[in-house]
Amino acid sequence: MGGAQVIQSQQTPRNPTQPGLPPIDGGAGEGLPPSVMARQAKARNDDRQKQLVADTNKLLQLATELKSEVDKTNKDVLSVDVIKKADEIEKLAKSVKDRMKG
């Protein structure tokens, strides 16, 4: 047969989704020294805290903007922008609450 042969590697990739990366361990950190796991946990907590601070600052900004817009409206008319801003605040507040729970 003169057809081309397909040569398959004898080694299976350590991470089938992205060859060359370490094996997927389901996030359990199996095989990692406790000090590495502790550093990774601290880094995740630090990142979560930074995101919480950023999100709560954004909530404060949105709430201030909402109050300003509501103050400009009258009792008979509610702006679509006010409703959209309230929805955005609600979604961000839920995200912050969920993140705080862990």
Which pLDDT tens digit goes with each residue over 34-78? Answer: 999 999 999 999 999 999 999 999 999 999 999 998 888 887 887
Whether residue 3 is contained in a domain is answered as: no
- What tokens appear for 42 in the block? 């601290």
Whether residue 83 is contained in a domain is answered as: yes
pTM for the whole structure: 0.60
1-39 residue pLDDT tens: 455 444 444 444 444 445 555 555 555 566 889 999 999
Whether residue 21 is contained in a domain is answered as: no
Rg (CA), the chain: 25
Question: Which residue segment(s) compose the domain that 92 sits in?
Answer: 34-101
Which residues fall within 8 angstroms of residue 19, CB to CB, at 6 or more apart? 13
Provide the number of structural domains found in the chain.
Answer: 1
Q: How far apart are CA 96 and CA 102, in angstroms?
A: 10
